[in-house]
Amino acid sequence: MNEREIAQIVTATIEKVMEEKRSRMTLSLAKEIINKVILKAEEMGVKAVVAVTDAGANPICVECMDDSYIASYDIAVNKAFTVVSLKMATKELKALASPGGSLYGIQFTNGGKIVIFGGGVPLKVGDKVIGGVGVSGGTEEEDTYLADYALSLFEEGMLWKQ
């Protein structure tokens, strides 16, 4: 084997490892997402709870900022559950779950764990949902902004440590 062939094999192996790393939710990735969102929430003056779930909608990590609302814990976890369960952002679900919408009443299913207002986003690699983020503690607009911020960092690949 020459140097070029070895370099190609090494490059292919690194790419495969990175693809595998990005194809599932891990505790370290969940913590990184939460840390970035908490820093942004602090800048905004929002006392948020941030939850990250895996592809099965199971919580991987939840962080509560000091003096955040007690109720925000369940809301954040349930937003993350909702986005993985339905494979859509909670802000998209809001319109569908409104009176006259095709999913009107869905919030009364799944033991009441479906949240129909903004602040939750699914995290996808290609078409595959690998996890979800739920943010609660601010206004709906603030929670949505923070969840979308997490999604943008995820999609830009800024969360994976090389």
Model pLDDT for residues 128-158, shown as the tens digit of each residue = 999 999 999 999 999 999 999 999 999 988 6
CB-CB neighbours of 101 under 10 Å = 14
How far is it, in rounded angstroms, from Cα 72 to Cα 135?
A: 8
122 DSSP β-pair partners: 132
Give the pTM. 0.85
C-alpha triplet 40, 43, 46: angle, nearest 5° = 80
Tokens 């983020």, residue? 133
- pLDDT the model gives residue 138: 98
Tokens 């994976």, residue? 160
- 54-72: pLDDT as tens digits: 999 999 999 999 999 999 9
How far is it, in rounded angstroms, from Cα 120 to Cα 129?
A: 13
For residue 21, pLDDT over 90 is answered with no
Return all residues near 141 (Cβ < 8 A) that are at least 6 apart. 118
